[in-house]
Amino acid sequence: MNAPQLKPVGQSEEHLVVEAGAGHGYKIGDIFYGIPFHICPTVALYERAFTVEGGSSAGR
């Protein structure tokens, strides 16, 4: 979400591997936000999920 120029090249469980390309300014520890295409690796880590409708929490 905050780095649209990154290209996904692989995924392992909840970890997404991206390619930044030559000359990027990213450092280890930089934070990136993304929305997964498939949620199975993410939901397996938690006991419950929360739903959002219209930008507000709608249930769990």
The rounded distance, in Å, linking the Cα atoms of 37 and 20 is 19
**Per-residue pLDDT at 46 exceeds 90:** no
Write down the residue that tokens 């938690």 correspond to: 46
In a 3-state reduction of DSSP, which class is residue 40?
helix
Q: What is the pLDDT of residues 12-43, one digit of tens each?
A: 777 888 999 999 999 999 999 887 777 776 77
Answer for the pair 36, 42: CB distance below 8 angstroms, yes or no.
yes
Q: What pLDDT, on a 0 to 100 scale, did the predictor assign at position 1?
A: 86
Q: What pLDDT, on a 0 to 100 scale, did the predictor assign at position 22?
A: 93
The CA angle 31-53-45, to the nearest 5 degrees, is 50
Answer for the pair 20, 27: CB distance below 8 angstroms, yes or no.
no
pTM of the model: 0.54
**Per-residue pLDDT at 55 exceeds 80:** yes
Q: What pLDDT, on a 0 to 100 scale, did the predictor assign at position 34?
A: 80
